[in-house]
Every structure is written in C-alpha cells, then in structure tokens.
Structure 1
C-alpha cells in the first residue's frame, strides 16, 4: 500500500500490528509508545519527512483514549496532576512544532540531545531499581505495596472496585493526593516546568512526552507508577490534539516540505495502539510495579542508545 504523504510503501497490516505490540507494554507505564514508533518509522519504514512528527501525534490521538478510559473507570486518574501537565506541555508543543519545521528538518542533532535526556532517565531508573535507597523511603514503598496487595484481595472477594485515588487538595504550589491510604505531595511549579520542556521535545518529534514525564514522576518526584500512568497519557492526548492541528495549520506555509500528518498511516497505527493500550491499562493493576519500572527503563535505555549510537554512525 502506498502512503503518498510519507512517501513509502508498506503492507497495511504492519502498522497496526507493530503499534499494538508496543502500546500494550508501554501503556502500563503511562507511555503511549509513540517514542518507539518514531525510530520504527524513520529507520524501518524510511519515513524521514518532518510530517512524521505529526503522524506520530495522530497515533496518540487515536490510541490513547481507550487507555485513559480504563484509568478513569478504575478511579486512578489524578486530575489536578493531569491539568498541570496539560497546561505546561501545550505552549511547548507549539514551540516544538515551529522548531521542527524551521530549524530541524534533519532531526539527527536533536535526536542526540533527546537520546542523552532519555539515557539519563533510564540509567537513573535502573540505578534506583538495582540499589534502592535504604531508610524510610524503602520501608514506605514496602508498606505501600502491602496495602495495594491487601486491597486487591478485598476487591477480589467483594467483586466491587475500590476507589484508588483521593485528591486531598491542590493549588498553585502543591498537589496532594492519597492512594490506597498512602499520601503523596508534589510541587505544582516543578511539574509545570518539566511539562514545558517535555512539550517542546514532544512538539519536535511527536513523541507526546509520556516517555519523559512518567519516568520523572517515578524517579524524581517519587510518585507511584499506578497513579502517574493515567495523568501522563491524558496529558499526551490533549497536547497531541493541539500538535496535529498546529502542524496541519502551518503546512501551507512550508510548501517545499511534507509537514501535515499522513492521515491514513497515522490512523492505522492508532487502531493497533488503541487495542493495545486498552488491554495494557486493564492488565496494569495485575503487574507488579517493579516489573513495569524495569520494562519502562529497558525500552528507554534501548531507544536512547539507538539515538546516540545512530548519530555517530
């Protein structure tokens, strides 16, 4: 099948199949999988036009709602955290789109930068998993996991879902919530600043930003992966909607480049991602947090390595 905007030939069954496999695992960590689809499109399919960024964001728009629906239905959406992420990433997405088409039509240099950022996050996650810090934090995490296990057993016996997240309060400085009896408190300006930077990265490469936001939530802010996944996915969805619209609007101003998304290719990726993300979100609560963290760290380190090594080859 020929995709005119992308300028490639590919079997129509391949995009949804690849997207399904990626999204099933990455959605458990609050990541849509777009950051892994990008190197697949560039390196495997040969899709190197600037419009690949918009096509990646189109994948997010189609795929993410199914996963977000599961998190909302199970009461695991921290809405104040979600809105801070959205407000931070939106300005960055617009700036990133302009940077992509104006100054980075060839993404090799920025891929090196993105690879270094992801490598730092991945290595930090691996270090924390291999050498957990002793003391109160380790004991709190152990106690927290025991609470989650106890509530799961109670829910299984009663066959009634238990409310997982309870927002305690939020303002311009802090966001506080309770998850299975454990309290978490995070800086709203810190989340906003991180989201702004991530929005620029997402706007340039169409990766949504969940690949960066979710690990930072876990490793830097100390939030449980079970509560940040929904917020990261929802933030990625909203910013992707505006990102695709913005790429489509500015496309006429760059007639010499392919800027607007390849709608057919993006929809095929999105359909596969939609199914994979729904099943991944549904299965997340049955997978230990440590397994999810290891999986997320693994794909981040692998992707970062491919970006950095590819720059020098």
Structure 2
C-alpha cells in the first residue's frame, strides 16, 4: 500500500468515526462502500477488513465513554453476550455459503431504510401520549436481537451498532445509553470476528484474510475520530442525536439499495 492510499484510509476513518461515534456506530457500515468502490478490496476479504477497522477504531470512543461513566450498566453485557456467538456463525456462513455481497446489501437496505425514516419522522413528529410510547425491550429480547445482529455483522463486517442502535432507540432507549453499549458490543464482536476470519483463511481458498494495511490505516484514523465523536456527544441534544442516527440509517440504506439494484 502506497503512502497516498494510507493517508486516504486514515482520512476516511477519521471523518466517518467523528460523525458516527456520538450515536453508537463505529462507522464500518459507511466504510464498506468506500472499501469496495474506492480501495477495491475483494470479497469476502472486505468483511474481515471492516472488522479489523472496528478493532483498531473502537478503543478511542470506548475510552472516552468509560472515563465519563457511560459504559456502566447491564445493556453492554446483554449485547456482548448475544453478538459474540452470532459473529462466529456469520463468519462461517459468509466464507462457505455466501461469499458475494449483493443479497446482504439488499437485506440491510430493507432494514435500515424504514428504520431511518421512522426515526426521522418521530424526531420531527414525536408521540406525546404516554400510552403510545414504545415498550422498552426486555434483557432477554435484547440478547436475542444482539445474536441476530451478530450473525449479520459476521457476514457483512459492519459490527452491528448501525443495526441495533436505531432499533433500541426506536423502542424507547436514550441514545446516551445505547451508543456506548452498541460500540462495546461492536468492538467485542469485531475482535472475535477478525480472529474467526483469520482462522478460516487457513482452511479455505480465495480472498478471506483481511487487508491488514488498509484496515489498520482506516482504523487508526477512526480511533482519533471516535474519541472526538464521543466527546461531542454530551454537547448534542437528544433530538439532534436521534435525527443524526435516523439520517445515517436512511442514507446508508439508500446507498446499499442503489448498489444492490444496480
């Protein structure tokens, strides 16, 4: 990898993580199209490269959330317990059953687009009646949901924060609570997922191992951006954070739908 590519990777990771860390998204969901279209990372190697990005990027935001006391609480544990077994299963499915990306782009678009539009609509037109407020999911349902998200993250290399974050916020949890937990789950999932792909690369053919240089470069930029984004979060009102999360989900869903249908 030449110096310009490395600088581009650092810049991409820095800018993406600064915008996404305040709402609990590592940025891998935005980085994936950049890897495919700009850096031309082959499939399925793009998935473990994204997971490697999450591993390097995560400590910046997590350190900030930990020092501010936002990582304490059971939500992080429930998410991690669900996502860890899910990501291993997802990695196996991706390598041996579905090495392509088209179907999963369409599936993620089908999930993110309506969720993003719904979050934006609720931000502009909030439901004020107590009876109509969504019920907060139980710990068991959160763990089951996290397992499903872990499988998707293992298949597609997006960590899962961009999927579980909008859903939990839409069900009534505040972003200040969801964001640190989602990033913690994304980090733990990505560590296990990257190791799983590294082991699978030894027993399978094709481009399975991560692009180490690009993943480290993008992750280094995102580590700084994640810390900056986590520092920014307390200064943003809940309404702005909800709108940012909804707009992010809508934008990524639209992009993936266009790519899947093109």
Normalised by the size of structure 1, how large is the TM-score?
0.80
Structure 1 position 44, deviation (Å): 2.2
Structure 1 position 208, deviation (Å): 0.3
The answer to whether 1:279 aligns with 2:228 is yes
| Larger fraction in helix | 2
1:65 maps to: 59
2:211 maps to: 262
**8 Å contact kept, 1:78–1:230:** no
**8 Å contact kept, 1:78–1:227:** no
Counterparts of residues 1-313 of structure 1 (less than 5 Å): 1=1, 11-136=5-130, 186-220=137-171, 222-255=172-205, 257-313=206-262
Normalised by the size of structure 2, how large is the TM-score?
0.95
Distance 2:163 2:136 in 1: 20
Structure 1 position 200, deviation (Å): 0.7
Structure 1 position 106, deviation (Å): 1.3
2:247 is paired with a residue of what secondary structure?
helix
Structure 1 position 45, deviation (Å): 2.0
| Structure 2, gaps ≥5 residues long | none
Deviations 1:149-172 (A, max 9, x none): xxxxxxxxxxxxxxxxxxxxxxxx
Distance 1:59 1:310 in 2: 22
1:254 is paired with a residue of what secondary structure?
coil
Structure 1 position 135, deviation (Å): 2.0
Distance 2:152 2:229 in 1: 25
Structure 1 position 64, deviation (Å): 0.8
Structure 1 position 186, deviation (Å): 4.5
Deviations 1:10-65 (A, max 9, x none): 62200010110010010000110010000111122222321111111111111111
Q: CA RMSD in A?
A: 1.8
Count residues with an aligned counterpart: 261
Distance 1:43 1:128 in 2: 33
2:43 is paired with a residue of what secondary structure?
coil
| Structure 1, gaps ≥5 residues long | 3-8, 141-183
Deviations 1:202-255 (A, max 9, x none): 0011100000111111102x1111111111101110111000000001112112
**8 Å contact kept, 1:67–1:281:** yes
**8 Å contact kept, 1:115–1:308:** yes
**8 Å contact kept, 2:21–2:179:** yes
Distance 2:30 2:192 in 1: 21
Structure 1 position 87, deviation (Å): 0.7
Asked which structure has the greater CA Rg, the reply is 1
Deviations 1:78-133 (A, max 9, x none): 43111110110111101111111112111101211111011122122112112211
Distance 2:178 2:185 in 1: 11
2:66 is paired with a residue of what secondary structure?
helix
